Amino acid sequence: MDIMWQEFLTIIREEVGSRVVDTWFNVLVLKGHDILRKEVYLEAPNAFIREWVNKNYLMLCQTHLARLLHIPAVKVLISDTRSSIVDKSDSAADPVSVSLASIASPDAEPEKAAVVTYKGARSVANRAAIYTDSAYSFDNFVVAPNNSLAYAACRAVSENPGYLYNPLFIYGASGLGKTHLLHAIGGAIKHKYKKNVILFQTADRFVSEFINAIRFNKVHQLEEKYRSADVLLVDDVQFIANKGQTQEAFFHIFNVLYDARKQIVFSSDTVPQQMDGIAERLRSRFASGLVVDVQVPSLETKIAILKKKAESSTVVLDDQILHFIAERVALNIRELEGALIRVLAFSSLTQQSITIELVHKVLLRAPTAVIQSVDFDKIMKVITRHYNCTNKQLCSKDRNKHLSFIRHIAMYCMKHLTDKSLRDIGMFFGGRDHTCVVYALEKVERHIQDNSHFSLELRRIENEILKG
Residue 73: CATH number of its domain: 3.30.300.180
CATH number, position 228: 3.40.50.300
How far, in Å, CA of 23 to CA of 345, rounded? Answer: 7
Give yes or no: residues 336 and 210 share one domain: no
Count of domains observed in the chain: 4
Domain boundary among the residues 272, 293, 314 is at 293
Residue 321 lies in a domain: yes
Give yes or no: residues 192 and 278 share one domain: yes
CATH number, position 331: 1.10.8.60
Residue 84 lies in a domain: yes
Give yes or no: residues 46 and 98 share one domain: yes
Amino acid at residue number 169: F
Domain boundary among the residues 250, 274, 293 is at 293
How far, in Å, CA of 191 to CA of 134, rounded? Answer: 11
Give yes or no: residues 129 and 274 share one domain: yes
Amino acid at residue number 327: E
Give yes or no: residues 280 and 146 share one domain: yes
Instruction: Say whether pTM exceeds 0.85.
Output: no
Give yes or no: residues 303 and 209 share one domain: no
3-state DSSP call for residue 398?
A: coil
* Cross-sheet strand order for the sheet of 39-44: 29-34, 39-44, 75-80
Give yes or no: residues 276 and 415 share one domain: no
Per-residue pLDDT tens digits of the chain, which is 468 residues long: 577 888 888 888 877 777 778 778 888 888 888 888 889 999 887 777 788 888 888 988 998 888 888 888 899 999 886 544 333 333 333 333 333 233 233 333 333 333 333 333 333 333 333 545 567 889 888 888 888 889 999 998 998 898 878 999 999 887 888 999 999 999 999 988 888 899 999 998 898 888 888 888 888 888 888 988 999 999 999 999 988 888 998 999 999 999 999 999 999 988 898 898 999 999 999 999 899 988 878 888 888 888 888 887 788 888 888 888 887 766 578 778 888 888 888 888 888 888 888 887 787 655 444 434 578 999 999 999 999 999 999 999 888 889 999 999 999 888 877 767 788 898 999 888 888 888 898 888 888 877 878 877 887 888 788 766
Give yes or no: residues 141 and 275 share one domain: yes
What are the distances in angstroms from CA 325 to CA 19, 56, 193, 220? 18, 21, 40, 50
Domain span at residue 206?
124-293
The DSSP bridge partners found for residue 40 are 33, 76
Give yes or no: residues 384 and 450 share one domain: yes
3-state DSSP call for residue 33?
A: strand
Residue 370 lies in a domain: no
Give yes or no: residues 89 and 218 share one domain: no
Residue 371 lies in a domain: no
CATH number, position 380: 1.10.1750.10
How far, in Å, CA of 345 to CA of 52, rounded? Answer: 9
Give yes or no: residues 193 and 54 share one domain: no
Residue 117 lies in a domain: no
Amino acid at residue number 118: Y
Residue 118 lies in a domain: no
Residue 314 lies in a domain: yes
Give yes or no: residues 402 and 462 share one domain: yes
Asked if 183 contacts 192 with a C-beta cutoff of 8 angstroms, the reply is no
Strands 290-293 and 198-202: unpaired
Residue 277 lies in a domain: yes
Domain boundary among the residues 293, 321, 341 is at 293
